[in-house]
Amino acid sequence: MDQKELAKRVKLIVMDVDGTLSDGRFFMLPSGETIKSFDVKDGTGVVFAGLAGLHTAIITGKVSVTVRHRADELGVENYYEGISDKTEPLMELLNKYELTKDQVCYIGDDIGDAEVMGMVGFSAAVGDAHPLIKRIAHYIAKRYGGRGAVREVIDFILDAQEKWSEIFIQLKTAQNHQSLMNQINS
């Protein structure tokens, strides 16, 4: 089955953070606090996925107040942090939404994502992912992690599902239009 057909089935988008939603770099302050950067384009893609009726989730190995705040800001429905075995939250999400593995997209970049990527119906690797991850991915983004790769993957899914008119109608008719525009531009 080709990429587009696999993407048509997606009802849940699960994302890694470091190297996927962020570029993997962080800055450590003298206090020990860390700072990460995120791309607005990726955030817009996550918001658009929600407007299209797709469920979203983040599963990350680290614990981070910054990432939790970013997830909340974008309306990510499910947030799992400090996770070493990413298959457990995936199974929980399948049960929660009564989905099959074929209806899930997972976007990742490194070896810690491999097992989950091998389980889902549509796996995507960021452009600078580890070579082994690129080998098992159904889709390899041209853009790098933290630099628009998540947006590229989500756009591909929305294109395959022909969801753009639905998103534009929601943008135009939203009761909370200004709040939604702020969310998109964050």
* Structure-token match 């995120």, residue found: 38
- Domain spans of the chain? 3-184
Please, which pLDDT band fits residue 173 given cuts at 50, 70 and 90? confident
Q: Residue 99 has what pLDDT?
A: 98
Q: Which two tokens stand for residue 26?
A: 């962080």
Cβ–Cβ < 8 Å for 124, 140: yes
CA–CA gap between residue 157 and residue 162 (Å, rounded) = 8
Q: What is the mean predicted confidence (pLDDT) over 132-154?
A: 98
CA–CA gap between residue 100 and residue 14 (Å, rounded) = 14
Q: Which two tokens stand for residue 91?
A: 């199974």
Q: Exposed, middle or buried: residue 167 (CB in 10 Å: 0-12, 13-18, 19+)?
A: middle
Please, which pLDDT band fits residue 138 given cuts at 50, 70 and 90? very high
Question: Beta partners for 140?
Answer: 125
- The pTM assigned to this predicted structure is 0.94
pLDDT above 90 for 174 = no
CA–CA gap between residue 2 and residue 7 (Å, rounded) = 9
Q: What is the CATH code for 3-184?
A: 3.40.50.1000
Cβ–Cβ < 8 Å for 63, 27: no
pLDDT above 90 for 156 = yes
